[in-house]
Amino acid sequence: MEKLVNSLVAEISKVVLGKEHQIKMALACLFSRGHLLIEDQPGMGKTTLAQTLAKVLGLEYSRVQFTSDLLPADIVGVSIFDQQNSQFSFHPGPIFTQLLLADEINRTSPKTQSALLEAMEEGQVTIDGDAKKLPSPFFVIATQNPESQDGTFPLPESQLDRFLMRISLGYPDADVERALLAGEDPRTRISELRCLMTPEKLHAIYQKAGRVQASASLLDYIQRLITYTRTSTEFSYGISTRGALSLMRCARTWAFMHGRGHIIPEDLQILLPSVVGHRVRDAADYSGQSGYALVERVLNNVDVIA
């Protein structure tokens, strides 16, 4: 498994340079059947990462650019009256795909944002009272700009909670950036990438990752972490049970990706900022920007051995 992960990372890194950690995180998220939120400044390679992932994992891919006038029907599709057959026929929207890239999701109105909700949670959409199954696997990779930028609608907590992880890419290292500047645009290489995954392999990963062991001591540690976020006055609200379950799911995948049959505290420590960073909020923070710093504090205050 480790080999597969390494080759995936290597393949993606051909296009997304110097972001091995973020790539691994994104993989862990998708292998945990979770949706991924990438938050960063424009022009940091968010879309590139999503495209590359789709290509390498061999997933059917479609992209929706979210704008302020986008309507729910633009995503899920519409029923149009067919005059020849004298009946409505359904024209599926871009959501009927395996990997949906929701670009700049916070640029659109809350109404459209929430059109994604059902799809993300249930794996189906309901149009004209008709539930339609989405293809499996179904992933949403959403990107968003920091909310301080103009013309954004911040995602509400309930919507943020649907994303298993929130990561940000950050500026590349100086030498990586120099290579970028000197060489050709790596995006042109996307088409050359090999597909390393099949849906069967993906299902096998789901199955095996679910069997990773979590020992009593580890569960104690998780509970200490959760309790800290719920009782400390620094938090306006702590980690929900769904948040805790998500953490466990990711940790299992992460351990499995590293060839282990059991979770160790380091797995949790590395995942915690991405998995719960968007689910907690500082008591004095109303814009929701402080998640990562808070999670750092949790990790520094809750001991592994207790």
Query: Which residues would be at the binding site for other proteins (CB under 8 A)?
Result: 213, 215-218, 220, 260-266, 269, 299-306
Complex with other proteins: residue 49 or 299, whichever CB lies closer: 299
As a whole number of angstroms, the distance between CA 203 and CA 30 comes to 11
Q: Is 257 helix (H, G, I), strand (E, B) or coil?
A: helix
β strands within the chain, DSSP E: 35-39, 61-65, 77-82, 87-92, 99-103, 124-127, 130-133, 139-144, 163-167, 235-237, 281-282
C-beta closer to other proteins: residue 111 or 262: 262
Residue 147 corresponds to which amino acid?
Answer: E
Query: What is the Cα–Cα distance from 48 to 99, expressed in whole angstroms?
Result: 14
- Identity of the residue, 127 or 304, whose beta carbon is nearer to other proteins in the bound complex: 304
Measured from the CB atom, the residue of 171 and 237 that comes closer to other proteins is: 237
Nearest-approach distance from CB 220 to other proteins, in angstroms: 8
DSSP string, 57-112: HT--EEEEE--TT--HHHHHEEEEEETTTTEEEEEE-TTSSSEEEEETGGGS-HHH
Cα–Cα distance between 215 and 131 in angstroms, integer? 40
Alpha-carbon distance of 108 to 163, in angstroms, equals 17
User: Contact 228/302 with Cβ under 8 angstroms?
Assistant: yes
| Smallest gap from residue 305 Cβ to other proteins (A) | 5
Smaller CB separation from other proteins, 65 or 215: 215
For residue 277, the SS3 value is coil
At its nearest, how many Å lie between other proteins and the CB of residue 269?
A: 6
Residue 116 beta carbon to other proteins: minimum distance, rounded to whole angstroms = 36
Q: Considering the complex, what minimum distance in angstroms separates the CB of residue 265 from other proteins?
A: 5
Contact assessment for residue 155 and residue 113, using Cβ atoms and an 8 Å cutoff:
yes
Give the residue with the Cβ less far from other proteins, 114 or 269. 269
**Token reading at 258:** 């590293």
* DSSP H helix total and E strand total for the chain: 12, 11
Q: Which is nearer to other proteins, 208 or 260 (CB)?
A: 260
CB of 262 to other proteins, least distance (A): 4
Two structure tokens written together for 98: 């395996």
Smallest distance, Å, CB 182 to other proteins? Answer: 34
Least distance in Å: CB of 295 to other proteins? 11
Nearest CB to other proteins, comparing residues 70 and 255: 255
